[in-house]
Amino acid sequence: MTSHTFRIGGELDVRRLGFGAMRLPTEPGPDRENALAVARRAVELGVTLIDTAHLYGGGANEELLAEALHPYPEGLLITTKVGVARTGPGGEWKLDGRPAILREQVEQALRRLRLERIELLQLHRIDPETPLADQLGTLRELQTEGLVGRIGLSEVTVADLERAREIIDVVSVQNRYSLLDREHEPVLAACEEAGIAFLPWRPVAWGETGADAGIAAVAADLGATPTQVALAWLLDRSPVVLPIPGTARIEHLEENVAAAGLELTPAHRDRLDRLGRPADGAPTG
């Protein structure tokens, strides 16, 4: 029987099927009002893990979540990410892990999310132009100051994870991963061995016609949708996997959350396991 909860860092109890807020529109108008309703509905449905980032609208996504959900219900974990900033030559987004930038983004996130402490902060990407010790050292300082509770990483290799764990206690990793995109299988294995939460972004991805047909066939057998099958496979894949599917539509949100109640048979799981293929790209997430 699949466990539906996980304790991040041995302390933060969350339901394993979370919600990624990246797709929620933040511009004023009907779409924003709908986005507020989607965020509130996620919590009504029992979601206790919501993922956002400074990159998503330059903090506008964080503000949206605060407007929708503050004061936050007990047990709700909103995790955000820092380390991407508009500091490129033309003001474009680029990886920026300089200590001053990381500190500024954490302070902005605290204000936008209306929090005194970010219980789980993730480094959006490792900035190759800034020493890793400086990036993680800054996050550790913020942790010591009480502004950050726990630290995670995003889009890292096994080697990156090993190096980081020499500097900080890593409690989560957020990498691209799905039924049809298993490039980061070694990272998942390392997380499972260490008891580190693994948050797959883009957890539902479609691929070749044959693979999609295989998923559809399993869905038909179970009376579910292909999306639900893909999410159920992730939950079944490892107890440390915490999928964070995102959507801007309430009906899709409800479909996603219902996937937590879908149990795969061994035969279905074996069939799905054989559908995996290498990733063909890595969009920003």
Q: Which residues are catalytic?
A: 56
- Specify whether the CB–CB gap between 110 and 71 falls below 8 A: no
CA distance 244 to 259: 12
How far apart CA 11 and CA 79 sit, in angstroms, is: 14
Q: Which of these, 78, 49, 44, lies nearest to 64 by C-alpha position?
A: 78
Tokens of 44: 């009504």
Structure tokens at 246: 């995102």
Q: Which of 284, 261, 256, 285 is nearest to 19 (CA)?
A: 256
Structure tokens at 63: 């503000």
Q: Is 99 exposed, middle or buried (0-12, 13-18, 19+ CB in 10 A)?
A: middle
Contact 161, 187 (CB under 8 A): yes
Q: 94 - beta bridge partners?
A: 85
Q: Are 208 and 248 in contact (CB under 8 A)?
A: no
